[in-house]
């Protein structure tokens, strides 16, 4: 089956290769599909960690007078 997606060769230690083979068989996936899913999960976790760190940095830069109460917000919104 032809594909336009890039192919990447990965060298794994035997215990890790055995685990991935076991997991892919258990889930009914090819080795390639299982590795793709694992890499995608790692990418998403890395992205989440980056944005959480960025959000914390932004919160640290805020001052107390940057916040308003729930009631003040709705009053200002006219609702």
d(CA 10, CA 32): 10
**What pLDDT shows up at residue 12?**
95
Whether residue 2 has pLDDT greater than 80: no
DSSP letter (8 states) at residue 5: S
Q: What is the pLDDT of residues 14-43, one digit of tens each?
A: 999 999 999 999 999 999 999 999 999 999
Q: What is the C-alpha to C-alpha distance for residues 33 and 39, in angstroms, rounded to an integer?
A: 10
pTM for the model stands at: 0.68
Q: On the CB side of 63, how many CA atoms lie within 13 Å of its CA?
A: 1
Q: Report the mean per-residue pLDDT for the chain.
A: 93
* Percentage above 70 pLDDT, the chain: 99
28: DSSP letter: T
């Amino acid at each position: 089956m032809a594909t336009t997606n890039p192919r990447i060769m990965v060298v794994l230690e035997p215990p890790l290769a055995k685990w991935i083979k076991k997991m892919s068989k258990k889930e009914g996936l090819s080795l390639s599909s299982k590795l793709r899913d694992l890499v995608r999960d790692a990418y998403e976790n890395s992205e989440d960690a980056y944005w959480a760190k960025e959000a914390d940095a932004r919160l640290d830069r805020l001052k107390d007078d940057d916040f308003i109460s729930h009631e003040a917000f709705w009053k200002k919104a006219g609702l």
